[in-house]
Structure 1
Amino acid sequence: MTGHENINYIEFPAADLSATKQFYNKVFGWVFADYGPDYIAFANSGVDGGFYRSDKTSSVANGAALVVLYSKDLIKTEQRIVASGGKIIKPVFSFPGGKRFHFSDPSGNELAVWSEQ
């Protein structure tokens, strides 16, 4: 159910929609629906969203908001990201409350993963 004035949907750019679908499905189990040749929607991610065809990327250096995912096993998630074509762009580091790392997906978008471990 949608909460009043809560974050409901998030969209990212993606140069290669097919590679994006494969990456997020394989690593995180997200499911996708195609909406024409230039848009895919995702679910099973905590917050629904989509990817639109674009050569631009979402990164902290460009001023974008950082989407942070949660993992019960940070190292296994990191290994799946790398094995599936993602790149670690900020290695695991500690912060008050846990550890996290930043990665880029096949289209170059920056996200992070955190855990209490």
Structure 2
Amino acid sequence: MGLPNYVELPAADIAAAKTFYADVFGWGLVDYGPSYACTTTGTVDVGLQGDPDEASKAPLPVLPVTDIDAALAAVIKAGGQIVRPIFAFPGGRRFQFLDPNGNELAIMQADD
């Protein structure tokens, strides 16, 4: 597993968040439906999650892997608590978990 390549931020007002980050940092954000937008630089990108049913409570680091099933098994074996089982999204699959201190993280595998 690598270091985070993505950070997802909860954004109850996604329009305001998009405007803010564009104005402050000049970020170009790509919309993926009405409640999600993200940068697509290919380095460390930022996603804005506007759906309150999908958003984490705090910023969500996302770590890339090449084998999501092995990563899931490793998280479970190490005592991580799965809060969202593996699911598909445009561009890949991911799952979310809590570490022993209650921090929420996600692991994703990009589509080939």
Task: Report the TM-score, using the length of structure 2 for normalisation.
Answer: 0.50
Task: Report the TM-score, using the length of structure 1 for normalisation.
Answer: 0.48
